Amino acid sequence: MEQSRFLELHGQRMCLTDVGSGPPILFVHGLMSSRRTWSDQAARLAADHRVLAPDLFGHGESAKPLGDYSLGAHAASLRDLLDAVELDAVCVVGHSLGGGVAMQLAYLFPERVERLVLVSSGGLGRELNPVLRAATLPGSEFVLPVLASGWVRGIGDSALRVWSRTGLPAVSPSTTEAWRALATLADGDTRRAFLATSRSVIDAGGQTVSARNRLSGLTCRDVLLIWGAGDRMIPAAHVEAARAELPHSRVEILPRSGHFPHLDEPDRFAAVLADFARTPEVAVGRSAGDPIAPAVRPA
């Protein structure tokens, strides 16, 4: 059962799932998402780990104040969170935007990150799905309320129900989660925070913030890269950018996954993560010159 609580950080409330005991793992969700995207993984890992999964400011049930929503601001909030729960260092797992936040945390506060897991991470290349690029354009603040409105969501929900009855391949959890996330933008405060966050890292051409020139400077040498082979938000080819800077990182491409591999292939994802978390030393993956294969090692 999910165990959530609120912490106050600098006068703002942050909602946090905090379960289990043992070596700590900090999960960081992506844009338009929340801590709940990690619920299944938290339940699986809580027997052997203390699992922390916050709603970043501007997301979920955490506060959505006016202010700074840059990667650095989110990283500083996570540092403050670790102080509040009295943890010195953790294994950090970041998905999508959360991957960028996780890298920023490791770069700014290296003593707080023992191991780093990047899941379909942002910050490793310019390419990005056109829908997210369009969401940052001038005037999108007037379009997003319409797209997130009840009647549009009703049409989409009906289409998904019809699709499920046709006998065609089921809609993937990645697609369902992306559709669910759109509904959160019906709330004005959430929409304002989304625009502030997305415009700090995205423009009409794609991602504007790159961590590639900083990866080689990370003091954390245990790094795992997980990607869905069918990711339509951030292409799996971005793994190569990270691997060029971190040749000893472990790489796992999940062949039946999209942008949310922890939802599309939860069993395999959990097995890969648990294996990485308990390995006492750097897990060396393929060398930088090898091509990416659909599966690196069995889960």
pLDDT digits (tens, 9 = 90+) for 249-290: 999 999 999 999 999 999 999 999 999 988 765 443 433 334
pLDDT, the chain, mean: 84
Domain termination site, one of 148, 171, 202: 202
CB 18 within 8 A of CB 51: yes
Q: Smallest Cα–Cα separation from 269: which of 258, 280, 285?
A: 258
pTM of the model: 0.85
Rounded (10°) angle between helices 173-183 and 150-164: 160
Q: What does the alpha-carbon distance between residue 90 and residue 116 come to, in Å, rounded to a whole number?
A: 9
Same domain, 41 and 172: no
To the query of whether residue 96 is one of the catalytic residues in this protein, the response is: yes
Choosing from 62, 77, 96, 198, the catalytic residue is: 96
Same domain, 61 and 184: no
Q: What does the alpha-carbon distance between residue 184 and residue 55 come to, in Å, rounded to a whole number?
A: 13
Choosing from 59, 74, 238, 259, the catalytic residue is: 259
To the query of whether residue 259 is one of the catalytic residues in this protein, the response is: yes
Q: Provide mean pLDDT across the span 87-104.
A: 96
Q: What is the pLDDT of residue 292?
A: 36
Same domain, 121 and 148: no
Helix (H, G, I), strand (E, B) or coil at 52: strand
Choosing from 18, 55, 231, 264, the catalytic residue is: 231
Q: What does the alpha-carbon distance between residue 199 and residue 237 come to, in Å, rounded to a whole number?
A: 23
CB 224 within 8 A of CB 91: no
Count: domains in the chain: 2
Looking at per-residue pLDDT, the higher value among 113 and 3 belongs to 113
Same domain, 196 and 232: no
Beta partners for residue 298, in sequence order: none
Same domain, 113 and 157: no
Q: What is the pLDDT of residue 132?
A: 85
Whether residue 287 is contained in a domain is answered as no
CB 262 within 8 A of CB 95: yes
Q: Smallest Cα–Cα separation from 226: which of 91, 106, 104, 121?
A: 121
CATH of the domain at 78: 3.40.50.1820
Tokens standing for residue 180: 């669910």
Per-residue pLDDT band for 176 (boundaries 50, 70, 90) equals confident
Residues spanned by the domain of 194:
130-202
